[in-house]
Chain A
Amino acid sequence: MLAGCPQLTNDLAYVKTQIPELAVETVTSFSVQSATSRALSADMDLGAPYLLMSSQEMNAIFSPSQDGWQLFYERYPDAPGIMVFSRVGFNSTGNQALVSWRFQWEGLGGDGGFIVLAKVAGAWQVAHKVVTVVS
């Protein structure tokens, strides 16, 4: 159990019931990594261009005095919304990964949850997705 993170503990227990092949060590690694936030690097190869947005910029865009999503899509017309990732948990052999995500788009739309990936022939493939947040 993650004593300070009851919601995450509950979510991970649920995810494990949905994905029996999810290794305990992958979940443990994820739990450890998820304890703290980390700054992402601007030079990651994500296969597509991206912008890292700070909380300060988000607060400026989504201030109560303006239509934040209109401003967001004016500035970033090709972006479908705003993605947030967790750190990634891996098994010891490095061929299974667990990551959590939240994706928010215009208005109150959004989803999020947990994705388990398998490394096949050197490439990560989404194997399972468990949605825990829908709005």
Chain B
Amino acid sequence: MLVACGDGDSALPDNATDAHAADEPAVFAAVLAQEYGASFYVINDQTMACSPDAPSSPTTSRT
């Protein structure tokens, strides 16, 4: 499958990009614990998709 939002250079087969998808919750858990440390979370039930209108005002911090 090629991705509608990307060009040909960035497209990968599903089986390549989904190979580690089972690790997604562990990644989310690490971000929540290490960046926010709350006892309860409310999370949007849909993941973000790329948006041409998303705002951006870059500042950087490194951990």
Contact = CB atoms under 8 A, between A and B. Distances in A.
Contacts of A2: 5-7, 10, 50
Interface in A103-121: 103, 115, 117, 119
A83 B6 contact: no
A73 B29 CA distance: 22
B51 A7 contact: yes
Name the interface size band of chain B. Answer: 35 or more
B5 A133 contact: no
A46 B29 contact: yes
Given A36-B49, A48-B33, A48-B39, A82 B3 contact: no
B56 A82 contact: no
B23 A29 contact: no
B46 A38 contact: yes
Given A79-B40, A125-B34, A131-B61, A4 B4 contact: yes
A26 B17 CA distance: 9
Contacts of B45: 39-40, 52-55
Interface in A48-95: 48-55, 58, 72, 76, 78-90, 92, 94
Interface of B: 3-7, 9-12, 16-17, 19-21, 23-36, 38-63
The 6 closest A-B pairs by CB, nearest first: A5-B50, A35-B5, A78-B40, A44-B25, A124-B30, A52-B45
